[in-house]
Structure 1
Amino acid sequence: MPPKKKFKATASSSTTVFDRRRFISPEAKERYKQNVIHRNCIPERGLENFLPDKIHSLGWEKFTEQPTAVSIPLVKEFYVNANEHENFKVFVWAFWIKFGSFSINRFYHTQDIPNDDYSRLRDEGVDLDEIIRTIARLGAEWKRSASDVTHFPSFGLIPNCKIWHHFTSSKLIPSSNTSEVTKERALLNFVIQKGYSIDVGRVIQCC
Protein backbone atom coordinates (compact mmCIF):
# COMPACT_ATOMS: atom_id res chain seq x y z
CA MET A 1 0.00 0.00 0.00
CA PRO A 2 1.05 3.62 -0.40
CA PRO A 3 3.18 5.35 2.26
CA LYS A 4 1.47 7.00 5.21
CA LYS A 5 2.93 10.46 4.76
CA LYS A 6 0.91 12.96 2.80
CA PHE A 7 2.57 14.13 -0.41
CA LYS A 8 2.86 17.91 -0.74
CA ALA A 9 2.15 19.49 -4.11
CA THR A 10 4.67 22.05 -5.29
CA ALA A 11 3.68 25.58 -6.25
CA SER A 12 5.43 25.35 -9.61
CA SER A 13 3.22 22.47 -10.76
CA SER A 14 -0.08 23.46 -9.15
CA THR A 15 -1.36 25.21 -12.28
CA THR A 16 -0.72 22.27 -14.64
CA VAL A 17 -3.77 21.12 -16.60
CA PHE A 18 -4.91 17.62 -15.57
CA ASP A 19 -8.09 15.52 -15.46
CA ARG A 20 -9.54 16.25 -12.02
CA ARG A 21 -11.91 13.29 -12.24
CA ARG A 22 -8.97 10.86 -12.36
CA PHE A 23 -6.12 12.53 -10.47
CA ILE A 24 -5.86 14.35 -7.20
CA SER A 25 -3.03 16.60 -8.44
CA PRO A 26 -0.67 17.30 -11.36
CA GLU A 27 1.98 15.25 -9.51
CA ALA A 28 -0.34 12.23 -9.45
CA LYS A 29 -0.91 12.54 -13.20
CA GLU A 30 2.83 12.75 -13.77
CA ARG A 31 3.53 9.66 -11.62
CA TYR A 32 0.92 7.81 -13.63
CA LYS A 33 2.52 8.78 -16.95
CA GLN A 34 6.14 8.26 -15.94
CA ASN A 35 6.07 5.32 -13.53
CA VAL A 36 2.80 3.42 -13.54
CA ILE A 37 0.95 3.35 -16.85
CA HIS A 38 3.23 0.72 -18.47
CA ARG A 39 3.86 -1.38 -15.35
CA ASN A 40 2.12 -4.71 -14.84
CA CYS A 41 -0.08 -5.18 -11.79
CA ILE A 42 0.46 -8.13 -9.47
CA PRO A 43 -2.72 -10.20 -9.90
CA GLU A 44 -4.52 -11.24 -6.75
CA ARG A 45 -5.39 -14.89 -6.25
CA GLY A 46 -7.81 -16.77 -4.07
CA LEU A 47 -7.57 -20.02 -2.13
CA GLU A 48 -10.95 -21.54 -2.86
CA ASN A 49 -10.95 -25.34 -2.37
CA PHE A 50 -7.52 -25.20 -0.72
CA LEU A 51 -6.76 -25.60 2.99
CA PRO A 52 -10.38 -25.08 4.19
CA ASP A 53 -9.67 -25.96 7.83
CA LYS A 54 -6.87 -23.42 8.14
CA ILE A 55 -8.91 -20.76 6.33
CA HIS A 56 -11.83 -21.33 8.71
CA SER A 57 -9.61 -21.19 11.79
CA LEU A 58 -8.24 -17.83 10.62
CA GLY A 59 -11.68 -16.48 9.76
CA TRP A 60 -10.48 -15.70 6.24
CA GLU A 61 -13.34 -17.17 4.21
CA LYS A 62 -14.11 -13.92 2.37
CA PHE A 63 -10.48 -12.78 2.26
CA THR A 64 -9.41 -15.93 0.40
CA GLU A 65 -12.24 -15.92 -2.14
CA GLN A 66 -11.26 -15.86 -5.80
CA PRO A 67 -11.17 -12.15 -6.73
CA THR A 68 -13.46 -10.79 -9.41
CA ALA A 69 -12.29 -8.95 -12.52
CA VAL A 70 -11.21 -5.34 -11.98
CA SER A 71 -10.38 -2.30 -14.09
CA ILE A 72 -6.58 -2.19 -14.25
CA PRO A 73 -6.42 1.54 -15.16
CA LEU A 74 -8.65 2.30 -12.17
CA VAL A 75 -6.36 0.29 -9.86
CA LYS A 76 -3.32 2.19 -11.13
CA GLU A 77 -5.04 5.54 -10.64
CA PHE A 78 -5.92 4.51 -7.09
CA TYR A 79 -2.27 3.90 -6.25
CA VAL A 80 -0.89 7.09 -7.78
CA ASN A 81 -3.51 9.13 -5.95
CA ALA A 82 -2.92 7.23 -2.70
CA ASN A 83 0.50 8.88 -2.40
CA GLU A 84 -1.43 12.00 -1.42
CA HIS A 85 -4.02 10.37 0.81
CA GLU A 86 -5.87 12.21 3.58
CA ASN A 87 -5.95 9.97 6.66
CA PHE A 88 -6.12 6.85 4.48
CA LYS A 89 -8.78 8.22 2.16
CA VAL A 90 -7.92 8.24 -1.53
CA PHE A 91 -9.49 10.13 -4.43
CA VAL A 92 -10.78 7.81 -7.20
CA TRP A 93 -12.93 9.16 -10.04
CA ALA A 94 -14.40 12.01 -7.97
CA PHE A 95 -15.04 9.78 -4.93
CA TRP A 96 -13.07 9.49 -1.70
CA ILE A 97 -12.40 5.83 -0.85
CA LYS A 98 -11.26 4.74 2.62
CA PHE A 99 -8.39 2.24 2.74
CA GLY A 100 -7.28 2.29 6.38
CA SER A 101 -6.96 -0.96 8.32
CA PHE A 102 -10.46 -0.65 9.79
CA SER A 103 -12.05 -0.25 6.33
CA ILE A 104 -10.03 -3.12 4.88
CA ASN A 105 -11.08 -5.44 7.70
CA ARG A 106 -14.73 -4.46 7.27
CA PHE A 107 -14.52 -5.28 3.57
CA TYR A 108 -12.94 -8.70 4.11
CA HIS A 109 -14.90 -9.53 7.30
CA THR A 110 -11.63 -9.90 9.18
CA GLN A 111 -10.94 -8.72 12.72
CA ASP A 112 -9.26 -5.60 14.04
CA ILE A 113 -6.62 -7.06 16.36
CA PRO A 114 -4.65 -4.64 18.54
CA ASN A 115 -1.11 -5.95 19.12
CA ASP A 116 -1.61 -8.93 16.80
CA ASP A 117 1.06 -11.64 16.96
CA TYR A 118 2.43 -10.97 13.48
CA SER A 119 3.12 -7.30 14.21
CA ARG A 120 4.55 -8.10 17.63
CA LEU A 121 6.95 -10.75 16.29
CA ARG A 122 7.94 -8.52 13.38
CA ASP A 123 8.81 -5.68 15.77
CA GLU A 124 10.34 -7.69 18.60
CA GLY A 125 12.12 -10.33 16.53
CA VAL A 126 11.80 -14.08 16.25
CA ASP A 127 14.15 -17.04 15.90
CA LEU A 128 14.75 -17.33 12.14
CA ASP A 129 15.92 -20.91 12.51
CA GLU A 130 12.58 -21.82 14.11
CA ILE A 131 10.79 -20.18 11.19
CA ILE A 132 12.66 -22.15 8.55
CA ARG A 133 12.26 -25.41 10.48
CA THR A 134 8.49 -24.82 10.57
CA ILE A 135 7.79 -23.84 6.96
CA ALA A 136 10.60 -25.41 4.92
CA ARG A 137 11.97 -28.83 4.08
CA LEU A 138 14.93 -30.30 5.90
CA GLY A 139 18.12 -28.79 4.49
CA ALA A 140 16.67 -25.42 3.50
CA GLU A 141 18.95 -22.60 4.55
CA TRP A 142 18.78 -18.83 4.77
CA LYS A 143 20.86 -16.87 2.30
CA ARG A 144 23.01 -14.24 3.98
CA SER A 145 24.41 -10.90 2.96
CA ALA A 146 27.52 -9.43 4.55
CA SER A 147 25.49 -8.25 7.54
CA ASP A 148 22.11 -9.94 7.60
CA VAL A 149 19.88 -12.87 6.67
CA THR A 150 17.98 -12.05 3.47
CA HIS A 151 15.89 -14.93 2.06
CA PHE A 152 15.77 -18.59 1.05
CA PRO A 153 14.58 -20.18 -2.23
CA SER A 154 10.86 -20.90 -2.32
CA PHE A 155 11.41 -24.40 -3.71
CA GLY A 156 12.46 -25.30 -0.18
CA LEU A 157 8.98 -24.65 1.22
CA ILE A 158 6.81 -27.57 2.31
CA PRO A 159 3.71 -27.97 0.06
CA ASN A 160 1.10 -26.19 2.21
CA CYS A 161 3.48 -23.34 2.94
CA LYS A 162 4.21 -22.95 -0.76
CA ILE A 163 0.49 -22.43 -1.37
CA TRP A 164 0.37 -19.79 1.36
CA HIS A 165 3.53 -18.14 0.02
CA HIS A 166 1.97 -17.56 -3.40
CA PHE A 167 -1.28 -16.35 -1.86
CA THR A 168 0.31 -13.88 0.57
CA SER A 169 2.68 -12.63 -2.14
CA SER A 170 -0.35 -11.59 -4.17
CA LYS A 171 -2.74 -10.47 -1.44
CA LEU A 172 -0.93 -9.39 1.74
CA ILE A 173 2.67 -8.40 0.96
CA PRO A 174 2.60 -8.13 -2.85
CA SER A 175 5.63 -9.16 -4.89
CA SER A 176 6.07 -10.49 -8.40
CA ASN A 177 9.16 -12.40 -7.25
CA THR A 178 7.85 -15.58 -5.65
CA SER A 179 11.06 -17.55 -6.20
CA GLU A 180 12.50 -16.11 -2.97
CA VAL A 181 11.03 -16.16 0.53
CA THR A 182 12.03 -12.96 2.31
CA LYS A 183 12.17 -12.72 6.09
CA GLU A 184 8.93 -10.74 6.20
CA ARG A 185 7.01 -13.24 4.07
CA ALA A 186 8.55 -16.17 5.93
CA LEU A 187 7.37 -14.70 9.21
CA LEU A 188 3.87 -14.24 7.81
CA ASN A 189 3.80 -17.89 6.69
CA PHE A 190 5.15 -19.02 10.06
CA VAL A 191 2.43 -17.09 11.93
CA ILE A 192 -0.25 -18.66 9.71
CA GLN A 193 1.07 -22.18 10.35
CA LYS A 194 1.20 -21.60 14.09
CA GLY A 195 -2.34 -20.22 14.15
CA TYR A 196 -1.20 -16.92 15.63
CA SER A 197 -3.18 -13.71 15.12
CA ILE A 198 -2.80 -11.44 12.08
CA ASP A 199 -4.54 -8.11 11.55
CA VAL A 200 -5.13 -8.35 7.78
CA GLY A 201 -6.11 -4.70 7.43
CA ARG A 202 -2.99 -3.46 9.21
CA VAL A 203 -0.66 -5.64 7.10
CA ILE A 204 -2.23 -4.42 3.85
CA GLN A 205 -2.33 -0.80 4.97
CA CYS A 206 1.39 -0.85 5.85
CA CYS A 207 2.62 -2.55 2.67
Structure 2
Amino acid sequence: MAASFVPPGGGHFGLFFRQAVAPSSAPVASRRLAAMASSSNPKRMKTTVGNPSKGQKRKERIYSHYFLTKDNEDRFQVVMQRKLVAERKVILKPGEVNEFQLELIRRGWERLGSYPSTFSVTLVKEFYANAKVTTPATPTFLSYVRGKRVPFDADTINEFLGTQLADDVECQFSVLDDEGVAPGELIQALCLAGEGFHRGTIQRGSLHPLARFWSAFVHANISPCSHVSDLTEGRATILYTILTGRVMDVGQFIANEIHQCANAAGKAALGHPSLITHLCSLAGVDISVPPLEKATQDLDFSYFQRDAFAQNQMAPKEHNSRLRRKSTSIWRTQPPPSVIHPC
Protein backbone atom coordinates (compact mmCIF):
# COMPACT_ATOMS: atom_id res chain seq x y z
CA MET A 1 0.00 0.00 0.00
CA ALA A 2 1.12 3.50 -0.66
CA ALA A 3 1.26 6.17 2.02
CA SER A 4 1.76 9.89 1.99
CA PHE A 5 3.23 12.27 4.53
CA VAL A 6 1.69 15.59 5.48
CA PRO A 7 4.64 18.04 5.50
CA PRO A 8 5.17 20.69 8.16
CA GLY A 9 2.55 23.37 7.73
CA GLY A 10 0.37 21.06 5.63
CA GLY A 11 -1.68 19.55 8.42
CA HIS A 12 -2.01 18.97 12.13
CA PHE A 13 0.05 15.80 12.25
CA GLY A 14 3.42 15.06 10.71
CA LEU A 15 2.71 11.36 10.59
CA PHE A 16 -0.96 11.26 9.63
CA PHE A 17 -1.03 8.75 6.83
CA ARG A 18 -3.51 8.69 3.99
CA GLN A 19 -3.70 5.12 2.79
CA ALA A 20 -4.34 4.64 -0.89
CA VAL A 21 -5.64 1.51 -2.55
CA ALA A 22 -2.70 -0.44 -3.85
CA PRO A 23 -2.95 -1.20 -7.60
CA SER A 24 -2.73 -4.77 -8.68
CA SER A 25 0.78 -5.37 -9.86
CA ALA A 26 3.13 -8.15 -10.74
CA PRO A 27 4.63 -10.02 -7.79
CA VAL A 28 7.64 -8.33 -6.28
CA ALA A 29 10.97 -9.93 -7.19
CA SER A 30 12.58 -12.11 -4.54
CA ARG A 31 15.19 -10.41 -2.46
CA ARG A 32 18.80 -11.51 -2.91
CA LEU A 33 19.66 -11.30 0.72
CA ALA A 34 17.38 -12.45 3.53
CA ALA A 35 17.29 -10.99 7.01
CA MET A 36 17.93 -13.03 10.08
CA ALA A 37 15.22 -15.30 11.40
CA SER A 38 15.38 -13.95 14.93
CA SER A 39 17.44 -11.40 16.77
CA SER A 40 18.57 -14.09 19.19
CA ASN A 41 19.03 -16.80 16.55
CA PRO A 42 20.10 -15.17 13.29
CA LYS A 43 19.51 -17.39 10.28
CA ARG A 44 18.92 -16.33 6.72
CA MET A 45 15.78 -17.74 5.21
CA LYS A 46 14.24 -17.18 1.81
CA THR A 47 10.53 -16.67 2.28
CA THR A 48 9.16 -18.24 -0.87
CA VAL A 49 5.63 -19.55 -0.62
CA GLY A 50 4.84 -22.69 -2.55
CA ASN A 51 2.19 -22.45 -5.27
CA PRO A 52 0.68 -25.91 -5.71
CA SER A 53 -1.29 -26.69 -8.83
CA LYS A 54 -5.07 -26.90 -8.81
CA GLY A 55 -4.83 -30.67 -8.88
CA GLN A 56 -2.65 -30.67 -5.79
CA LYS A 57 -5.04 -28.32 -4.01
CA ARG A 58 -7.98 -30.64 -4.72
CA LYS A 59 -6.11 -33.61 -3.25
CA GLU A 60 -5.03 -31.76 -0.11
CA ARG A 61 -6.85 -32.90 2.99
CA ILE A 62 -7.70 -30.26 5.60
CA TYR A 63 -8.24 -31.50 9.16
CA SER A 64 -10.95 -28.96 10.01
CA HIS A 65 -12.24 -25.47 9.31
CA TYR A 66 -9.92 -24.22 12.06
CA PHE A 67 -6.75 -26.32 11.76
CA LEU A 68 -4.69 -27.86 8.99
CA THR A 69 -3.80 -31.00 10.95
CA LYS A 70 -4.31 -32.61 14.35
CA ASP A 71 -0.78 -31.49 15.22
CA ASN A 72 -1.75 -27.89 14.51
CA GLU A 73 -4.82 -28.27 16.71
CA ASP A 74 -2.63 -29.58 19.52
CA ARG A 75 -0.23 -26.70 18.91
CA PHE A 76 -3.09 -24.26 19.46
CA GLN A 77 -3.37 -25.36 23.09
CA VAL A 78 0.29 -24.39 23.58
CA VAL A 79 -0.05 -21.12 21.69
CA MET A 80 -3.04 -20.10 23.81
CA GLN A 81 -0.73 -19.88 26.83
CA ARG A 82 1.59 -17.39 25.13
CA LYS A 83 1.18 -13.63 25.46
CA LEU A 84 0.90 -11.19 22.58
CA VAL A 85 3.14 -8.15 22.11
CA ALA A 86 1.04 -5.55 20.31
CA GLU A 87 2.42 -3.02 17.84
CA ARG A 88 2.50 0.72 18.53
CA LYS A 89 1.15 3.48 16.32
CA VAL A 90 3.35 6.51 15.63
CA ILE A 91 1.56 9.84 16.08
CA LEU A 92 3.82 12.89 15.81
CA LYS A 93 3.20 16.51 14.84
CA PRO A 94 5.51 18.32 12.41
CA GLY A 95 8.88 18.93 14.03
CA GLU A 96 8.36 16.46 16.89
CA VAL A 97 11.24 13.96 17.09
CA ASN A 98 12.07 15.27 13.64
CA GLU A 99 15.07 13.01 13.01
CA PHE A 100 12.88 9.97 13.63
CA GLN A 101 10.17 11.22 11.27
CA LEU A 102 12.60 12.08 8.49
CA GLU A 103 14.29 8.67 8.65
CA LEU A 104 10.94 6.85 8.71
CA ILE A 105 9.92 8.75 5.56
CA ARG A 106 13.29 8.30 3.84
CA ARG A 107 12.97 4.54 4.27
CA GLY A 108 9.33 4.47 3.13
CA TRP A 109 8.31 3.02 6.50
CA GLU A 110 5.39 5.38 7.15
CA ARG A 111 2.83 2.57 7.01
CA LEU A 112 4.95 0.51 9.39
CA GLY A 113 4.14 3.18 11.95
CA SER A 114 0.52 3.81 10.97
CA TYR A 115 -1.15 0.41 10.42
CA PRO A 116 -1.42 -0.86 14.05
CA SER A 117 -5.07 -1.17 15.01
CA THR A 118 -7.53 -3.53 16.69
CA PHE A 119 -6.69 -7.22 16.36
CA SER A 120 -8.44 -10.52 17.04
CA VAL A 121 -6.62 -12.47 19.75
CA THR A 122 -8.23 -15.77 18.74
CA LEU A 123 -7.46 -15.43 15.02
CA VAL A 124 -3.86 -14.41 15.67
CA LYS A 125 -3.29 -17.48 17.84
CA GLU A 126 -4.99 -19.75 15.28
CA PHE A 127 -2.65 -18.22 12.69
CA TYR A 128 0.41 -19.02 14.80
CA ALA A 129 -0.80 -22.57 15.50
CA ASN A 130 -1.28 -23.27 11.78
CA ALA A 131 1.99 -21.55 10.79
CA LYS A 132 3.97 -24.24 12.59
CA VAL A 133 5.72 -26.60 10.19
CA THR A 134 4.52 -30.10 11.13
CA THR A 135 5.91 -32.17 8.24
CA PRO A 136 8.74 -31.80 5.68
CA ALA A 137 6.07 -31.19 3.03
CA THR A 138 4.41 -28.34 4.92
CA PRO A 139 4.77 -25.02 3.04
CA THR A 140 6.63 -22.38 5.01
CA PHE A 141 5.52 -18.75 5.29
CA LEU A 142 1.94 -19.85 4.74
CA SER A 143 -0.70 -20.22 7.45
CA TYR A 144 -4.39 -21.11 7.56
CA VAL A 145 -7.20 -19.25 9.34
CA ARG A 146 -10.90 -20.14 9.24
CA GLY A 147 -10.71 -21.96 5.92
CA LYS A 148 -8.43 -19.41 4.23
CA ARG A 149 -4.76 -19.65 3.29
CA VAL A 150 -2.86 -16.69 4.73
CA PRO A 151 0.61 -16.06 3.25
CA PHE A 152 3.17 -14.14 5.30
CA ASP A 153 6.22 -14.25 3.03
CA ALA A 154 8.48 -11.23 2.54
CA ASP A 155 6.82 -10.10 -0.69
CA THR A 156 3.32 -10.18 0.85
CA ILE A 157 4.41 -8.21 3.91
CA ASN A 158 6.47 -5.70 1.93
CA GLU A 159 3.56 -5.13 -0.46
CA PHE A 160 1.18 -4.48 2.44
CA LEU A 161 3.62 -2.10 4.14
CA GLY A 162 4.81 -0.46 0.92
CA THR A 163 8.41 -1.30 1.82
CA GLN A 164 9.56 -3.17 -1.30
CA LEU A 165 13.22 -2.76 -2.20
CA ALA A 166 14.28 -2.17 -5.79
CA ASP A 167 15.61 -5.26 -7.57
CA ASP A 168 19.18 -3.93 -7.55
CA VAL A 169 19.20 -2.97 -3.84
CA GLU A 170 20.71 -5.38 -1.34
CA CYS A 171 19.78 -5.74 2.31
CA GLN A 172 22.81 -4.39 4.16
CA PHE A 173 21.38 -5.43 7.51
CA SER A 174 21.70 -9.14 6.73
CA VAL A 175 25.38 -8.63 5.86
CA LEU A 176 26.00 -6.75 9.11
CA ASP A 177 24.15 -9.41 11.07
CA ASP A 178 26.16 -12.17 9.43
CA GLU A 179 29.57 -10.54 9.80
CA GLY A 180 28.97 -8.66 13.05
CA VAL A 181 29.54 -5.04 14.01
CA ALA A 182 32.54 -3.94 16.06
CA PRO A 183 31.51 -3.10 19.65
CA GLY A 184 33.06 0.36 19.41
CA GLU A 185 30.94 1.17 16.36
CA LEU A 186 27.75 0.06 18.12
CA ILE A 187 28.59 2.18 21.15
CA GLN A 188 29.36 5.26 19.09
CA ALA A 189 26.13 5.02 17.09
CA LEU A 190 23.75 4.12 19.91
CA CYS A 191 25.04 5.25 23.29
CA LEU A 192 25.32 8.34 25.44
CA ALA A 193 28.82 9.68 26.07
CA GLY A 194 30.66 7.46 28.52
CA GLU A 195 28.15 4.62 28.26
CA GLY A 196 28.62 1.24 26.66
CA PHE A 197 27.65 -2.40 27.01
CA HIS A 198 27.70 -4.77 29.94
CA ARG A 199 27.48 -8.56 30.01
CA GLY A 200 26.64 -8.84 26.34
CA THR A 201 23.80 -6.33 26.22
CA ILE A 202 23.31 -2.58 25.99
CA GLN A 203 21.04 -1.24 28.71
CA ARG A 204 18.21 0.93 27.44
CA GLY A 205 19.31 3.69 29.80
CA SER A 206 22.67 3.80 28.01
CA LEU A 207 21.05 4.79 24.71
CA HIS A 208 20.82 8.38 23.54
CA PRO A 209 17.23 9.76 23.25
CA LEU A 210 16.77 9.14 19.52
CA ALA A 211 18.07 5.58 19.86
CA ARG A 212 15.68 4.97 22.77
CA PHE A 213 12.71 6.13 20.68
CA TRP A 214 13.76 3.87 17.81
CA SER A 215 14.27 1.07 20.33
CA ALA A 216 10.63 1.35 21.45
CA PHE A 217 9.53 1.23 17.81
CA VAL A 218 11.73 -1.78 16.99
CA HIS A 219 10.62 -3.70 20.10
CA ALA A 220 6.97 -3.32 19.06
CA ASN A 221 6.75 -3.16 15.26
CA ILE A 222 9.84 -4.90 13.87
CA SER A 223 11.31 -7.35 16.38
CA PRO A 224 8.68 -7.69 19.14
CA CYS A 225 9.85 -8.46 22.64
CA SER A 226 8.24 -8.17 26.06
CA HIS A 227 11.63 -7.55 27.70
CA VAL A 228 12.66 -4.04 26.67
CA SER A 229 15.09 -2.94 29.38
CA ASP A 230 18.12 -3.81 27.29
CA LEU A 231 19.18 -4.62 23.73
CA THR A 232 20.31 -8.01 22.52
CA GLU A 233 23.03 -8.20 19.90
CA GLY A 234 20.49 -8.66 17.10
CA ARG A 235 18.32 -5.70 18.06
CA ALA A 236 21.38 -3.52 18.60
CA THR A 237 22.36 -4.37 15.03
CA ILE A 238 18.89 -3.33 13.82
CA LEU A 239 19.26 0.05 15.57
CA TYR A 240 22.77 0.45 14.18
CA THR A 241 21.45 -0.28 10.67
CA ILE A 242 18.73 2.35 11.05
CA LEU A 243 20.79 5.07 12.70
CA THR A 244 23.64 4.75 10.19
CA GLY A 245 21.27 4.90 7.19
CA ARG A 246 21.87 1.38 5.89
CA VAL A 247 19.32 -0.68 3.96
CA MET A 248 17.08 -3.21 5.69
CA ASP A 249 14.53 -5.51 4.05
CA VAL A 250 11.98 -5.10 6.81
CA GLY A 251 9.39 -7.40 5.19
CA GLN A 252 11.91 -10.22 4.99
CA PHE A 253 12.92 -9.70 8.61
CA ILE A 254 9.33 -9.68 9.89
CA ALA A 255 8.44 -12.80 7.86
CA ASN A 256 11.39 -14.62 9.41
CA GLU A 257 10.45 -13.39 12.89
CA ILE A 258 6.89 -14.72 12.54
CA HIS A 259 8.10 -18.06 11.15
CA GLN A 260 10.67 -18.45 13.91
CA CYS A 261 8.16 -17.54 16.60
CA ALA A 262 5.53 -19.95 15.25
CA ASN A 263 7.99 -22.84 15.36
CA ALA A 264 9.76 -21.99 18.62
CA ALA A 265 9.41 -24.01 21.78
CA GLY A 266 8.81 -22.40 25.15
CA LYS A 267 6.54 -19.57 26.16
CA ALA A 268 8.06 -16.62 24.32
CA ALA A 269 5.60 -13.85 23.51
CA LEU A 270 4.01 -13.68 20.05
CA GLY A 271 4.42 -10.52 18.01
CA HIS A 272 2.83 -8.67 15.07
CA PRO A 273 -0.84 -9.35 16.02
CA SER A 274 -2.19 -6.30 14.18
CA LEU A 275 -0.18 -7.10 11.04
CA ILE A 276 -1.37 -10.71 11.12
CA THR A 277 -4.98 -9.55 11.48
CA HIS A 278 -4.53 -7.32 8.42
CA LEU A 279 -3.05 -10.26 6.45
CA CYS A 280 -6.03 -12.40 7.46
CA SER A 281 -8.38 -9.70 6.22
CA LEU A 282 -6.56 -9.53 2.88
CA ALA A 283 -7.02 -13.30 2.57
CA GLY A 284 -10.79 -12.95 3.04
CA VAL A 285 -11.06 -13.90 6.72
CA ASP A 286 -13.76 -12.27 8.86
CA ILE A 287 -11.57 -10.49 11.43
CA SER A 288 -14.39 -9.46 13.79
CA VAL A 289 -13.94 -12.62 15.90
CA PRO A 290 -13.73 -11.65 19.61
CA PRO A 291 -11.93 -10.96 21.84
CA LEU A 292 -10.64 -7.84 20.12
CA GLU A 293 -7.76 -5.83 21.55
CA LYS A 294 -6.24 -2.49 20.60
CA ALA A 295 -2.65 -1.63 19.87
CA THR A 296 -0.64 -0.54 22.91
CA GLN A 297 0.39 2.99 23.90
CA ASP A 298 1.07 5.28 20.96
CA LEU A 299 4.57 6.48 20.24
CA ASP A 300 3.95 10.22 20.42
CA PHE A 301 5.79 13.29 21.64
CA SER A 302 4.49 12.95 25.19
CA TYR A 303 6.03 9.47 25.32
CA PHE A 304 9.32 10.89 24.04
CA GLN A 305 9.26 13.64 26.69
CA ARG A 306 8.38 11.28 29.56
CA ASP A 307 11.13 8.91 28.50
CA ALA A 308 13.68 11.73 28.33
CA PHE A 309 12.60 13.07 31.74
CA ALA A 310 12.88 9.62 33.33
CA GLN A 311 16.33 9.21 31.81
CA ASN A 312 17.48 12.56 33.19
CA GLN A 313 16.21 11.67 36.66
CA MET A 314 18.10 8.40 36.85
CA ALA A 315 21.19 9.43 34.90
CA PRO A 316 23.56 10.60 37.71
CA LYS A 317 23.03 7.59 39.96
CA GLU A 318 23.02 5.08 37.12
CA HIS A 319 26.03 6.64 35.42
CA ASN A 320 28.14 6.53 38.60
CA SER A 321 27.14 2.92 39.17
CA ARG A 322 28.17 1.94 35.66
CA LEU A 323 31.53 3.64 35.98
CA ARG A 324 32.37 1.25 38.83
CA ARG A 325 31.55 -1.80 36.78
CA LYS A 326 33.99 -3.52 34.52
CA SER A 327 32.59 -3.50 31.01
CA THR A 328 32.79 -6.86 29.29
CA SER A 329 31.53 -8.01 25.93
CA ILE A 330 30.41 -11.23 24.32
CA TRP A 331 29.60 -9.62 20.95
CA ARG A 332 30.57 -12.25 18.41
CA THR A 333 34.19 -13.25 19.02
CA GLN A 334 35.61 -9.73 18.93
CA PRO A 335 37.30 -8.34 22.08
CA PRO A 336 35.88 -5.17 23.62
CA PRO A 337 37.58 -1.92 22.61
CA SER A 338 40.30 -0.64 24.93
CA VAL A 339 38.71 2.80 24.87
CA ILE A 340 34.97 3.50 24.85
CA HIS A 341 34.51 6.29 22.36
CA PRO A 342 32.03 9.00 23.30
CA CYS A 343 29.18 9.81 20.94
Pick the TM interval, shorter chain. 0.7 to 0.9
Q: Are 1:203 and 2:253 counterparts?
A: yes
Task: In structure 1, give the amino acid aligned to 2:186.
Answer: I
Which ranges in structure 2 are unaligned for 5 or more consecutive residues? 1-36, 48-61, 258-343
TM-score by length of 1: 0.83
Q: 1:67 is matched with which residue?
A: 116
Superimposed CA distance per residue, residues 104-154 of structure 1 (whole angstroms, 9 cap, x where no aligned partner) = 10010002365311111111222122112111112222223xxxxx21211
Q: Are 1:21 and 2:21 counterparts?
A: no
TM-score by length of 2: 0.52
Q: 1:117 is matched with which residue?
A: 172
Q: 1:76 is matched with which residue?
A: 125
Give the greater-gyration-radius structure (CA).
2
Q: 2:288 is matched with which residue?
A: none
Q: 1:134 is matched with which residue?
A: 189
Q: Does structure 1 conserve the Cα–Cα contact (< 8 Å) formed by 2:131 and 2:140?
A: no
Q: 2:211 is matched with which residue?
A: 161
Q: 2:87 is matched with which residue?
A: 44
Q: Any runs of at least 4 consecutive aligned residues in structure 1 with deviations exceeding 2 A, and if so which?
A: 1-5, 112-115
Q: Secondary structure at the match of 1:78?
A: helix
Aligned length: 189
Distance across 2 between alignment mates of 1:90 and 1:38 = 19
Q: Secondary structure at the match of 1:90?
A: strand
Kindly indicate whether structure 1 or structure 2 has the higher relative contact order, using CA contacts under 8 Å at least 6 residues apart: 2
Which ranges in structure 1 are unaligned for 5 or more consecutive residues? 6-17, 145-149
Shift of 1:55: 1.0
Q: 1:8 is matched with which residue?
A: none
Task: In structure 1, give the amino acid aligned to 2:149.
Answer: W
Q: Percent identity?
A: 28
Q: Does structure 2 conserve the Cα–Cα contact (< 8 Å) formed by 1:102 and 1:112?
A: no
Q: Does structure 2 conserve the Cα–Cα contact (< 8 Å) formed by 1:112 and 1:201?
A: no
Q: Secondary structure at the match of 1:62?
A: helix
